[in-house]
Structure 1
């Protein structure tokens, strides 16, 4: 059984990671452990580089905290060019996989507040009245009328980031 350390305590991220690992490695083949670690970037990262750096730092910090694990996984959400997106970074002892999620364009009213220094989660909670929306369906769920959720978009990116671990051509 694989020991997979998730560098997050966010339920929507953990759900996506668990689902992807079950699909790729086999259902029940992984033990998922959630840990809270620092990203080394602001609470609301801006730009592709800062967001990917946050995911990479979370993996580094999770590896330091749980060095005996088989996999370390981080998902960092950010804002770039008026849209929200995430980077997924997965490492084992010899390989790294990375993938960027789909992007969701944000309305100007939301972007204004985020650019003024507020994090997207609290802005969306205030806008929708849904407490801790970032730990639930997120802005993606709201603006796609529930057709997509944070977890569903993260899931796809986690599957893509896992590709170097199960495709021999990468090795």
Structure 2
């Protein structure tokens, strides 16, 4: 049984992480525990590096809170080149895996509000009327008519970030 600490309480992120770990390591082979930790970056990170730094910081802070875990996982969403995306960072005691998610181009009206200082989630909630949309389908769900969701896009990135942990060539 693997003890996995997820640096989030966001249901969309937790669902993606749980699904990916179950697919890679087997159903019921992982125990998930949430940790509330600081990212060390603004609520709405801009650029790939700031967003990746936020995910790395979350993993580091989760490790400090829960040093006996087997894995620490963080997903940080950001804005880069007029699109939203995420970085996934996963660490074990000896390895780190990182992957960037697919990107979703955002409409100018949304970007204008975000560039003015608002976080994407509250802006999307305002335009859609969906409370806490970032904990649900997210902008991705809205702009893809439900064909993709935050969780489904995160899931793919978590699988990619897990590749060093189940492929011997990385060791």
TM-score (norm. length: structure 2): 1.00
Q: CA deviation at 1:153?
A: 0.1
Partner of residue 47, structure 1: 47
Unaligned runs of 5+ in 2: none
How far apart, in 2, do the equivalents of 1:36 and 1:149 lie? 23
Partner of residue 58, structure 2: 58
Partner of residue 149, structure 2: 149
Partner of residue 88, structure 1: 88
SS of 2:12's equivalent? Answer: helix
Partner of residue 68, structure 1: 68
SS of 2:77's equivalent? Answer: strand
How far apart, in 2, do the equivalents of 1:145 and 1:136 lie? 14
Q: CA deviation at 1:36?
A: 0.7
Partner of residue 106, structure 1: 106
Partner of residue 30, structure 1: 30
How far apart, in 2, do the equivalents of 1:48 and 1:20 lie? 23
Q: Is the aligned partner of 1:16 residue 2:16? A: yes
Unaligned runs of 5+ in 1: none
Partner of residue 7, structure 2: 7
- Moved beyond 6 Å, runs of 4+: none
How far apart, in 1, do the equivalents of 2:140 and 2:75 lie? 15
Q: CA deviation at 1:69?
A: 0.2
Partner of residue 130, structure 1: 130
